[in-house]
Each structure stands twice: as structure tokens, then as C-alpha cells.
Amino acid sequence: MAHITMLNLTVTPNVSVVRRAKLLPSRVNDSMPIPDFSKNDGLLPAIAQDAATGEVLMLAYMNAESFAETQRSGRAVYYSRSRQKLWRKGDDSGHTQHVKAIYVDCDADTILLKVEQVGAACHEGYRSCFFRQVQGSDVVVTAERLVEPGDVYGK
């Protein structure tokens, strides 16, 4: 990132440094906030993916506040639609997510977190929420449960 790769353009290195610094969280240009929390009533889907293996771990939602805290703290913070408040992943379970990189999609309305997952991403005790595979008319559990949910959440 420290390397300026646009030296052959007419912009000065200083300008390109500023532009790069402004990519997140504010704007690439004046017309396109990134991510664009003006969409979807301020709640954008956020996919968490294992930074090392590429495994898709879960899908949750972020508002601007949770996104800012995620950036600031380096730990995944979502917005819980059911509880209607910030959800600091792992506060109850200890199964935190350390954020290695943040991406936004082409429309700036879907977020991708590449994370280092501690324990199970899923509240059902599986590493990934996608532990069930649809096979024709059947749904088959295709992953090992890492922890019993009752042991983690004390229910």
C-alpha cells in the first residue's frame, strides 16, 4: 500500500495517497459512498469468510455504526435485527472474529469480511452457518459440530 503505482499518470504522488486514504470509509468520489448505507434502510448484508481457507462462515447485517466500530476495533461487529442493537460477535460465546480485510461489492451495498474465526461462527455450534446441504428433497448436515450450543450460551 505504501507503493505508489500511478506515477505515470498526471496526478502527483501526494494526490494519489490522499485518494487511497479516502477509499474507506468515506468515498471514492463525491457520488459514491462506500459502503453505501443510504441503501436498504441503512442495513447492509455482510458476509464473513475465513481469511485463510475462503470458507463462507456466515451472513449478518451491518449499519454504519457497526461498520465504523469494526474498522476501529479490528473485530467484527454487526447489527442484530432481532435485538435491534449492535452485536459484537463473540461477546456471549467468546467466538470472536478478527477482521483481516474488508471488501465491498460493485454496488457498494454488500460487505465482505475476511476474518480469523475463533471457534464456531454459528450459534448452532458449527464453524460455518452453512452446515446443511440441500440434496434433492433432503437436507443433510455436512459438517461436524464443534461445540454444543448449551455449553456456549448457557441455555
Applying CB under 5 A, the residues found at the interface with Zn ion are: 122, 129
CB of 31 to Zn ion, least distance (A): 36
Query: 71 near 60, Cβ under 8 Å?
Result: no
Nearer CB in complex with Zn ion: 46/122: 122
Nearer CB in complex with Zn ion: 38/80: 80
CB of 18 to Zn ion, least distance (A): 40
CB of 127 to Zn ion, least distance (A): 10
- Please, what's the largest Cα pairwise distance for the chain? 62
87 Cβ contact partners less than 8 Å away, ≥ 6 residues apart = 60, 66, 77, 78, 79, 80
Nearer CB in complex with Zn ion: 24/47: 47
Give the helix/strand (H/E) hosting 131.
none
Nearer CB in complex with Zn ion: 104/120: 120
- Per-residue b/e over 101-126, b at no fewer than 16 CB within 10 Å? ebebeeebbbbbbbbebebbbbebbb
CB of 30 to Zn ion, least distance (A): 38
Query: 24 near 7, Cβ under 8 Å?
Result: no
Nearer CB in complex with Zn ion: 102/122: 122
Q: What's the CA gap between 67 and 44, in Å, rounded?
A: 10
CB of 87 to Zn ion, least distance (A): 13
